[in-house]
Structure 1
Amino acid sequence: MQFSKLSTLYGRLEATASGNELRQILADFFKETYQKNPEELSILTQLSLGKISPDYISAVLGVAEKLVLKAIAKASGRSVKEITKHMHHLGDAGLVAELVLKQKAFTLVPTGDLTTDELYQTLHKIKDIEGSGSQDIKEKILISIFQKTTGQDSKYLARIILGNMRLGVADMTVLDALSICFTGDKSNKPRLERAYNVCPDIAKIAKQLADKGIEHIDEIPVKVGRPIRVMLAQRVASLSNMSEKIKSNLFQVEAKYDGERVQVHKERDGTITLYSRRMENITDQLPDLVEYLKKEIHVMAVEYILEGEIMALSEDAKIHQSFQTLMQRKRKTEIEKYIKKVPVALYVFDLLYLNGESMMNKPLIERGESIDKILYKKNRIRRIELIQTESVDEVQSFFEKMLKDGNEGVIVKSTADDSHYKAGARDWNWIKWKKDYMQNLVDSFDLVVIGAFYGKGKRTGAYGSLLCATYNHKTDTFESVSKLGTGLTDKTLEELPFILREHKVVKKPARVIINKEMTPDVWFEPFLVVEVIAAEISQGKMHCAARTPGSDRGLALRFPRFIQIRADKGPEDATSSEELLSLYEGI
C-alpha cells in the first residue's frame, strides 16, 4: 500500500469531531485492507496508532525533534534557520513538513512513492542504528524518506517519526474498529479486549483475527516476556459497604504502599524483565533489583510472572521512603550512584504464571501459597504485609496500623473460589481503602487533562487552570468532570506548556465530551494524567462525567485541588466515569 493512502486515512481521522465516525472510518479502512491484502492488516493497525511496535517493546527511534527539522530542511532545500522559525510559529514538526514540502525546490524532486511496508522497515532500521556516527546515518535516511513525500504525507511522516500523531486514536479505539470490521458492530469488543489484556499488542490481535477469525481470538496465550495488563481495585464510599461487595467470608487485607507497581517476567533462559504499570520496560533502571530477584527467588521457579510494589528504602535498607524519592531511580545516567543512594525492595502481592502454567484462574489463596514457596530469602524480595480476617473491625484496625506506619492504606481482596486475577479489569474482588478517607475527602482522583484556560492577574499569558476528564471505558471517551486551578504552583504552571506542547491540538479531539459552556482556550489530546483531591462529587449541567443518554446532567468534582502529575499512568488508566458514579451513589 502507498503511504499516501495511509496519510489520507490520518487526515480523515484528524478532521472528524465524532468518536463514532472515527471508529467507523478505521473499521472501513481495516475491512478494505483485509479484503485486498490480509497480510498488511497487522502492520497497518500498528501504524494507525502512529507506532511501529507495541508499548512494551521500546520503539524509541532515538530521533530528536532537532534532527527531524534538520532532515526536513535538507529534503526541502530550505535553511535550518527558516525551518526553526516555522517550528517556533507552528509548534508541530508535522505542520512544518507539510508547509515546506508542498512544493520542493525544483532540484529536489521526489525519488519515488513511499510504501507503508518500506516506511515500516525503514523506521525499524533507524531504531536499530547505534554507536559512533549514528545520528549522521539517521539523518541521511530521514532525508531520503522525506524526499519521497509531499504535503499531507510529509506531515504524518514527521509525526510518526516523533511518536506523536495528534489523532486521538488509542488502542481501545482500534479494538472497537476491529470488532466492527470483523463482526459488523462493537458487540465483540469485550472478547477482543480480553485477548488484548493478556496480549497488549494490537498487531498480534489483528493478525489472529485475519488468520483465524473471531472464533479463535480467545486462544492467544499468556506469554512470559510480554506484559499482562494489570488488574485494578474498585472503591467504596465507606468500609461498611465493603462486605456487601466482596462475596467471601474471609478477607485478605494487604498493605497499600506508596511505591511503584511492577510486573516481573523471568524467562526459561534466565532473562528477567521489569515492566511498569504502563507496560514500559524499566529493567535498565533497576539492575540491583534484577540481581536480588536472581538470588532470592527459588531456583524451582524456572519461569514466572509476578507482581509487586517497588519501594524506596533508606540507605541502611530499613525504612520506607516516599514515592518522590523512588522517582530518583527513573534515570538513564548515574545509575550506580542512585543504587547506593536510593536502595529498593520489592513487595510481592501476586503470581500470574509459574513454570508453564497460568495462575490467573486460580483462587487468590492458592496463588499466595505458591508465592510463599518461591520466596525463600526475603531480604529485598519480600511478601507484602497482609492479614486474613472475617472481621470488618480487624480490617479497620489493620488499615489504621498501615497509616501509622506511613503507608497509603489497604487493598481488601476476596478469597472466594472465583477470586481470579482478571487482567485489565477493575473488579469488586479487590477494593482499595486509602488514608484520604480519614481526611473527610472523597478520595484522590486521577484525571486526564483535555484543555487549558489562560490565567488572569499574575497568571496572565500562562495557563491559569486545566479542564480535566474521567475516562468512560464503555464508550472509550473522556468526559469533562472538573476545572482545576487550586493547588497548581507557579512552578507547575510554568512547566505545563512544555509538558503539553506536543499534545496541543487545534480543535476538540473526537473522543472528548464536554458542554459548550466549558470550552477551553486550548485543547489537548488526552495524554497527561494528574492526581487531584476533592471535597465531594456533585451533579449538574456544567460537566459530562457519567451522564446518561438523554440527560443533561453529569457528575463533577467540587473544590478540586491539584496534588501531582501521575507520569506512571496513561489516559486510559485514569479514574473511570463508572467508578465516579459508584462513589456518588454511595455504593
Structure 2
Amino acid sequence: MKAVVGWCTKTQPHEFRIDRSLLLPFINTTHTRLIMSQPQNHEPLASFYNLCELFERLANTRGTDLKKRLFQRYLHDWRHHFGYDFYDAMRLFLPHLDRRRFNMKEIRLARIYTEALGLSRSSRDAIELIKYKQPPTSTSPHQKKATGDFPAVAFDVINERSTVLRATRTIHDVNNLLDKISEASGNDKATINIFKDVLNTYMPLEQKWLIRIILKDLNIGMTDNSILQVYHPQARERYAHCSNLEKVCKELQDPYLKLNQSTIQLFQAFKPQLGTRDRPKDFSSLHHQGRFYIEEKIDGERIQMHFDQRTKQFMWFSRRATDYTSMYGGFPDKDNLARNVVSCLKADTLILDGEMVAYDPKLDVFLPFGTLKSAAKDQSMDMHRARPCFVVFDIVFCNGTPLLGYPLWERLKVLNKVVTEKYGYLNLLGREEKKTMDDVTEALDHAIQMRQEGIIIKNPNSVYEPGARNHTWVKIKPEYMNSSSDNFDLLVVGGSYGSGRRGNKLSQFLCVIRDDRVEDDENPRFISFCMIGTGYTLDELGDFKEAFKDHQPYDPKRQPPWLIHPEYSSERPDVIMSYKTSLVVEITAAETISSNSWGTGYTLRFPRFVQFRRDKSWKDIMTWSDMLRTMRRQKTREVTSGNFKQHRKKRQRTTPTASGPTRVQLGLLGSQQGVDTRDIVEASSLFLDMTFYVVTGDEAHSKATLEAMIKENGGTFMQQARNTQYVVADILVQGIIRQGIYDVILPQWIVDCVEKQDLIPLQPKYMKYTTKRTEEAFSASIDKWGDSYMQDATEQSLREVMERMPLNVNDDTRELANEIQERYFQTVHIPGRIFQLVKSYIDDDPPDPNIDINDMDMTWVVKQRAHERLEMASVDLRFRGAEVTRKIEDGITHVISDENDMERIPRLIKAFKNGPLPHFVTTEWVDACVLNKTLVNEKDYQPKLPRNMLKEPTTP
C-alpha cells in the first residue's frame, strides 16, 4: 500500500531527517525578520497522513529532547512549504486547548462506529469496541490490542474492513470535518452519517489519530508547555495571559521576533494570581515600609469580570477560564448580576478580580460555597432569596491599560475611583493596614468570631503575576479540632467494593497526589496517598458511581505508567480509571502519618470527603512538594500555634521606653545552666557511669536538687539529651518524644533509688514516656497496670496498681473503640459508630418545665421544641459512638445548636477561640449524618447567624 507522503522528505520508513541548525537559539535580528516576512500560507495541502506518521513516531520515541527535535523539524518544514500560519496544525497537536466541543467519549464513539460500519451489536467486533478495556479473548483476532486504548482497538476493527488505499485528506480537511462533528454534537443520526463518510475517505491510521483528537488526548508524551515552547519562546507565557490558542499562533508566527512583554487583554481569560498556604516564619516578604494588608478570606469561586462601557458588554471567567457569562449576564438587559452592577462601573473598560459568593439578604451573610450555583440559577421573584454577589479585591485592567506591573496599593486607589459598591451585589472587600504579629493574631481572632474562612495577608507593594503562587499573598486559616488546618485537593483514580449490602457497589476511593518532580515536558505521574470511605452523602456516592462508568480491573502487576502504588500493598483498589476523566475531591483528615502501604510513604489519618472540586483539574491537585510542605507545617504547628497564643498574652506586656530598647546580656537560660557542683562531695557510687539529662523536677524536688542527688551518688548530668542514657522530667517533652529514642523517667525514680541506695528496676509507674523498645521489655514481665508477673505483690504494690486502674467504664469502652478504629477502620467507620471520633457540646437552654400552663407563651414553646430536638440529637450521637458533654472542656470537636435558638453562639465562639476550634453545626447535621450513615460536610450545616449578631459578642 503506497500512501501519499505529501511534502515531508523521508530517508527510511517512519524516519525524518533532523536539521541540526534548528537547534541553534532563536536570534532577534533585522535580517531574520526580513527573511520571515509575509507570514501567509500557500495552498492548504499539508497531508494529514504525514502528520499521523509524526504522531506515531512521537508516541514511540523516548526522551523529551528527541520528541522536541522531531516536532521542531516538522514545524520548520511547515514554514518552508506552507508559510507561517500554524494554527490549523496546532489545533491538532493540542486538541485539549482547542475550543471545539464534541461531547464524545469512548463509549459513544464505539456505538457510532458500530452503526457506521453496519455491525451487529452482538458481533465480535462491536463487543470489542464497546468493551475496549477488557483483555482480548482467546478467539479474538486482535491478540495484540492495547487493553484500555480505544483508538488502538478501533484501528484494528477498521483496518480489517477499510478499502481506502490512498491518503488524500489534508489538515485543512480534517479541521473542516471536526467543525462538522462539533456542530452535529448531540445528533447521533447526523454524526453517524459523518463517520460513514470518514470510513470511505480516511485511512485506518488517520482514523486512529482522528479519534485521539476527538477524545482530546493524543498520548504522544508531549505536554502543551513543551509544544508551545518549541513553537516560540514566548508562546507559553502568552497562552497563560490569554488562554486563546488561535491568538497565540497568530501573534507569534515569526519564531525570531521577540514581542513586548506579554500582558492581559479585555475579554481574554487569564490565570489569576494565587496565595500560598505556607505560614511564613516572619512577615518580611509581606512588609512594605513596615506594613502589610490583612483581608478576609472569602469562601467563594474565583471569578474575573471583564467590562466594556461603550457596548455595556460583560464577560465572567473562572480561574480555569470557564466562561460563566451566561450565568451572571453578558449584557444588563435581563434580571441578572450584570444588570445590578453596571451602574457601579465608571471606567471605559476594566477587568476586576474577586470571589463570587452566594449572599443571603435576610441574614446579611455569605453562604457556603456549595450554594453558589443554585443561587445563581434561582429565577424566583422573591426579593429576599439568596443571590450571587461579586466580592472585588483587585483591579488588573482599566481604560485600556493593564495594571499588572503597578503595586497593589496603587491598584486599590484606581479600584476605589472607578468602582462604587452596591452592597449585596458588588462588594468591595475591605482591608486593614497592619504591621505586627499581634495584629495578625487579632485579625484571626476576629475572623473566628465572625465565622469567616480565614485571613489573607498581602504585601502592599506586590505586583500582579498571572498564574503565580508566591509569598506576597499568604492565606491563614483557623485550626479545627480533630482535623488539619488545611484541606487537601486530591484526585480519585480507583475504587473498592464494599461488603455486605454494598458488596457490589464502590464505596471506598483511591486518592492520589501529582508528582511535580516530573518535568513539565513529560507525561504526568501520580502517587497513591490515601483511601476515603466516609463523608459523602448518598447523592454524592451516585456521582462517584457515574464517574466510574468507564473503569477497568486493577492489576498490581500491570499498573498504568502514570501511577505509583506499592505492588504488594494491602491497600489496593478493585478498579481503576484514567486520571484524565477522573474527579478532584476535597479531603479533610486528622493528620498526616507515615505508612508503607502508599506510594508517598505517608497517608492521611481518618480521611473524610468534604466536597467535589469541579472547578479544578488534575493539574490543580496537591503535589509531592505540597505534601512535604504539609509535613513540615504539621511538625511545626504546635510551635507556630504556640507563638500565636503567646502573642495573645504579650499584648498585656509593657512596651519599650522612649529612651530606646534595653540591651540584654546574652547567656544561658536558668533552666539550661544546671547546679553548681564545686562544693558537692560524692557519698556513693550508686549512679557510677550513668549520665542523666534532667529537664524538670517535680513539686517536691527541683531540677537543681535532683542534679545534686545524681552528683552525690556518683553520676553525671548534662544539659541536653545527646549522649545521655536517662532523660528525667515531670512533663511530656515533645521535642525528645518526637525522636522516639529516649525514655522519659519521672523524678521519683531518682528519689526512690537514693533512699534505698539501690538501682530499682524501671517500671511503668516511673515512666512519663516509654519508647516501643522499653514497652516490649515491660510487657514480658509486667501487665499493663504495672503488676509484676515474677515478684510477689505487697500491700503497697497492690494499692499502686489499683490507683492506676480507671474507674470510668465508659472511658474504658471508648478507649477500646478508639483503638479498634485506629487499627482496623482508618478509612471507614466502625459499623454503627459513625460518631466515634466526635466529642460534642450540646448548646441547650431548656425552658422551665414547672411553669404554669397559663404562662406557656410562644417563646416557651419555641424553646421547648428546640430542647426536644437537641435531646434527640444527643441520643443519636451517643447511640452511634459520640461522647456528649454539656460543659465547655478540652477536646470538643462539635458544638450542636438548634437553628431556632442560637443566641449563645457568639459567646461560645469567643470561649473556644484560644484553642483549636470545634465545628459549629445545627441538629440538622446530626440528622444528615444518620441518614447518610457517615459524617457529612459541616459547612453545609453551619448556623446561619445574622451579621449583626456576630459583631459585638458578649463575654461568656
Question: Same fold per TM (> 0.5)?
Answer: yes
Equivalent AA in structure 1 for residue 393 of structure 2: F
- 1:472 matched to which residue of 2? 516
Bigger drift between 336-345 and 466-475 goes to 336-345
Q: Among 221, 225, 246, which residue is 1:175 paired with? A: 225
Distance in 2, matches of 1:27 and 1:505, equals: 35
**Aligned-pair distance for 1:467?**
3.4
SS in structure 1 opposite 2:160?
Answer: coil
TM-score when scaled to structure 1?
0.80
Distance in 2, matches of 1:306 and 1:101, equals: 51
Indicate if the aligned counterparts of 2:305 and 2:316 stay in contact, CA closer than 8 A. yes
Assess, with a 3 A threshold, how the Cα gap between structure 1 residues 51 and 474 changes in structure 2: closer, same or farther: closer
Distance in 2, matches of 1:349 and 1:577, equals: 31
- 2:77 matched to which residue of 1? 36
Indicate if the aligned counterparts of 2:304 and 2:316 stay in contact, CA closer than 8 A. yes
Indicate if the aligned counterparts of 2:530 and 2:603 stay in contact, CA closer than 8 A. no
SS in structure 2 opposite 1:376?
Answer: coil
Indicate if the aligned counterparts of 1:436 and 1:444 stay in contact, CA closer than 8 A. no
Equivalent AA in structure 2 for residue 262 of structure 1: I
Q: Among 388, 401, 419, which residue is 1:375 paired with? A: 419
**Aligned-pair distance for 1:367?**
1.1
Question: Does residue 226 of the first structure (1) align with residue 268 of the second (2)?
Answer: yes
Q: Among 50, 68, 75, which residue is 1:27 paired with? A: 68
Bigger drift between 228-237 and 70-79 goes to 70-79
**Aligned-pair distance for 1:255?**
1.4
Distance in 1, matches of 2:626 and 2:320, equals: 20
Distance in 1, matches of 2:467 and 2:284, equals: 23
- Deviation digits for residues 500-528 of structure 1, max 9, x if unmatched? 44587997565555554567652522442
**Aligned-pair distance for 1:6?**
4.0
Question: Does residue 484 of the first structure (1) align with residue 531 of the second (2)?
Answer: yes
- Deviation digits for residues 192-214 of structure 1, max 9, x if unmatched? 5433321334555455555133x
- 1:304 matched to which residue of 2? 350
Q: Among 142, 165, 172, which residue is 2:217 paired with? A: 165
Question: Does residue 143 of the first structure (1) align with residue 201 of the second (2)?
Answer: no
- 1:77 matched to which residue of 2? 118
Equivalent AA in structure 2 for residue 322 of structure 1: P
Indicate if the aligned counterparts of 1:529 and 1:570 stay in contact, CA closer than 8 A. yes
Distance in 2, matches of 1:516 and 1:225, equals: 49
Distance in 2, matches of 1:562 and 1:485, equals: 7
- 1:122 matched to which residue of 2? 177
Equivalent AA in structure 1 for residue 317 of structure 2: Y
Indicate if the aligned counterparts of 1:30 and 1:178 stay in contact, CA closer than 8 A. no
Distance in 1, matches of 2:512 and 2:293, equals: 35
Equivalent AA in structure 2 for residue 585 of structure 1: R
Equivalent AA in structure 1 for residue 411 of structure 2: R
SS in structure 2 opposite 1:27?
Answer: helix
SS in structure 1 opposite 2:466?
Answer: coil
Indicate if the aligned counterparts of 1:195 and 1:218 stay in contact, CA closer than 8 A. no
Equivalent AA in structure 1 for residue 338 of structure 2: V
- 1:46 matched to which residue of 2? 91
* Aligned residue pair count: 547
**Aligned-pair distance for 1:12?**
5.9
Assess, with a 3 A threshold, how the Cα gap between structure 1 residues 277 and 329 changes in structure 2: closer, same or farther: farther
**Aligned-pair distance for 1:373?**
1.3
Distance in 2, matches of 1:387 and 1:509, equals: 51
- 1:90 matched to which residue of 2? 132
Distance in 2, matches of 1:105 and 1:481, equals: 43
Assess, with a 3 A threshold, how the Cα gap between structure 1 residues 105 and 207 changes in structure 2: closer, same or farther: closer
Indicate if the aligned counterparts of 1:453 and 1:465 stay in contact, CA closer than 8 A. yes
| Paired residues for 1:559-574 under 5 Å | 559-574=606-621
SS in structure 2 opposite 1:320?
Answer: strand
SS in structure 2 opposite 1:216?
Answer: coil
Question: Does residue 294 of the first structure (1) align with residue 342 of the second (2)?
Answer: yes
**Aligned-pair distance for 1:355?**
1.1
Equivalent AA in structure 2 for residue 309 of structure 1: E
- 1:246 matched to which residue of 2? 286
Gaps of 5+ in 1: 546-553
**Aligned-pair distance for 1:217?**
5.7
Distance in 1, matches of 2:58 and 2:596, equals: 29
SS in structure 2 opposite 1:443?
Answer: coil
Normalized per residue, the structure richer in strand is 1
Distance in 2, matches of 1:110 and 1:338, equals: 66
Equivalent AA in structure 1 for residue 294 of structure 2: V
- Deviation digits for residues 88-112 of structure 1, max 9, x if unmatched? 4226764664353223377xx5796
- Deviation digits for residues 388-446 of structure 1, max 9, x if unmatched? 21132222332333333333111111113xx0111111110011112345655141111
SS in structure 1 opposite 2:365?
Answer: coil
Distance in 2, matches of 1:330 and 1:177, equals: 38
- 2:579 matched to which residue of 1? 525
**Aligned-pair distance for 1:218?**
5.6
Indicate if the aligned counterparts of 1:447 and 1:531 stay in contact, CA closer than 8 A. yes
Distance in 1, matches of 2:58 and 2:612, equals: 29
- Percent identical among aligned pairs is 22
Distance in 2, matches of 1:120 and 1:203, equals: 13
**Aligned-pair distance for 1:340?**
8.3
SS in structure 2 opposite 1:196?
Answer: helix
Normalized per residue, the structure richer in helix is 1
TM-score when scaled to structure 2?
0.51
SS in structure 2 opposite 1:431?
Answer: strand
Question: Does residue 396 of the first structure (1) align with residue 441 of the second (2)?
Answer: yes
SS in structure 1 opposite 2:281?
Answer: helix
**Aligned-pair distance for 1:568?**
0.7
Indicate if the aligned counterparts of 1:253 and 1:386 stay in contact, CA closer than 8 A. yes
Equivalent AA in structure 1 for residue 458 of structure 2: K
- 2:242 matched to which residue of 1? 199
Q: Give the structure with higher Rg (CA).
A: 2
SS in structure 2 opposite 1:101?
Answer: helix
Question: Does residue 362 of the first structure (1) align with residue 406 of the second (2)?
Answer: yes
- 1:580 matched to which residue of 2? 627
* Backbone CA RMSD of aligned residues: 3.8
Indicate if the aligned counterparts of 1:166 and 1:525 stay in contact, CA closer than 8 A. no
Distance in 1, matches of 2:526 and 2:107, equals: 35
**Aligned-pair distance for 1:361?**
1.1
Bigger drift between 419-428 and 34-43 goes to 34-43
Distance in 2, matches of 1:251 and 1:313, equals: 28
Indicate if the aligned counterparts of 2:482 and 2:589 stay in contact, CA closer than 8 A. no
- 2:934 matched to which residue of 1? none
| Paired residues for 1:321-336 under 5 Å | 321-328=367-374
Assess, with a 3 A threshold, how the Cα gap between structure 1 residues 297 and 403 changes in structure 2: closer, same or farther: farther
